[in-house]
Amino acid sequence: MPCTTSLCLLLLLLLVLASSTLGAPARKPRQKLLLVSFDGFRWDYDRDVDTPNLDEMAKDGVKAAYVTPPYLTVTSPSHFTLLTGRYIENHGVIHNMWFNTTTTEKKPYYQTQFVNEWWDNGTLPIWITAQRQGLKAGSLHFPGTASSYQGQVAMVREVEPQPYNYKDETLWRQNSDKVMGWFRDEDLDFVSLYFGEPDGTGHRYGPDSPERREMVKQVDRAVGYIRRSADKHGLTDRLNIIITSDHGMTTVLRKGLVDEITLYKIPGFSFSDVSFHLVDYGPSGMLLPKPGRLEKVYAALKDAHPHLHVYKKEDMPESLHFSKNDRILPIILWADPGYLINGYFPVQFNKGEHGFNNQEMDMKAFFRAVGPAFNKNLEVGPFETVNIYPLMCHILGIQPEVNDGHLNATKHMLVNGAATRAADVNSMQDVFTGLAAVSGFLVVLFIAMISHRVLTKTRNNKRLGSSEHHPEEKEEETKQTSF
């Protein structure tokens, strides 16, 4: 039987649809990602403690020598860098504390979690970016969870109550199971999970204490439990787990061994020249001098103590990325490791502290990763924590927001082909979209051809019937057509 134009077109359409269906590779389930932070876990905390679960995770995945957090090395700013891939001067969460320089009001860490404008500065955390691109995201206790961003929040979220026992190992296990339930039962793609230790123990007893070593053992047990819970919930083949921290910890020097830094005692300095200050919160501080008194304050403090560093905001080292933000006050102070900045007199009694220059080794944090996206038994060199964000976006297959990180810093951790997985997923989607468009066009064209043939045949039949009854009209029509 001869192939008419319409019939050939139909066969071509069927061939295209068949080839697109048979030739398409089987779509694997989308990979999921869990970001875990153990607050204050210094890069070398596993060296003086037996950590079988962390060791097993390193064999099954990736271990970094250490990671460098942003300056200021404190909890909220560093965690928001993990969520956004931006340095602190760019995301604007510059301190654990919200403050108002006009009213001199300050809010402590927990209350600051609920101040939307402190967190919502135009930089979106990965929860919101993922949700805007069709994924489901959640967060449990992670700093920034309580806030909304451009009117949106993490789809599933839980903020710890106050007071809260960050050391309770039973709660750690419950929270781990809860998060795995979110992945399995609510089909979440990304979750961030926060534990407040070993930071609290390091502060109270010091990073070299036996109490800190015991807490690291608890962290190790938690890591093992998290992985077992993932397996119990049927997630092992799809779930990638990144475990890291916001900063390290160092020992505070006291007991008359050092000349402590107390601003009130510095000759030429007076708090009457300052309208607002953030000191007494560790090794870092900021001052807002009264109008016309900046140079006086700066001159009095500069070189006043051998272990105190004093900078005008605009003169801060560029490597610290802590100057280009209106929230950062005109004078910035930080102390050498072991020293704290006191205002009128010492009010801090912690044996361990953080908040020092992020280039100090005691401020470095640890990093582990395991899952289908990661190589096994791989140790890699150090990198900055701003680079964790683009890595997470890549694994999830989402387009990242503007950030300060680079995928090149971490892509060698990924299994062969994983470095292009997101691009491959997008390419396959483009292929299917293109095939659908072509198929749709062919269907429309096929219908149009059939309609045209039917209409033409109908007209010819009418003309034929007319010529049988009025031959003279047929002859006249033929003459006009020829003309």
Catalytic residue set? 75
Q: Report d(CA 216, CA 38) in Å as an integer.
A: 10
**Cβ(251)–Cβ(296) under 8 Å?**
no
If phi > 0 it is left, if psi is from -120 to 50 it is alpha, else beta; for residue 398 that is beta
Q: Report d(CA 218, CA 196) in Å as an integer.
A: 12
Give me Rg for the CA atoms of the chain. 32
Query: Which tokens hold the place of 282?
Result: 């560790």
**Cβ(289)–Cβ(297) under 8 Å?**
yes
**Cβ(119)–Cβ(147) under 8 Å?**
yes
Euclidean distance between the first and final Cα of the chain, in Å? 37
The secondary structure of the chain in percent helix, strand, coil, rounded to multiples of 5, reads 45, 15, 40
Cα dihedral 312, 314, 318, 320 sign: positive
Give the strand pairing for 32-38 and 239-244.
parallel
| Cα 85 to chain centroid, rounded | 6
If phi > 0 it is left, if psi is from -120 to 50 it is alpha, else beta; for residue 22 that is alpha
379 contact partners, CB below 8 Å, separation of at least 6: 58, 62, 63, 64, 65
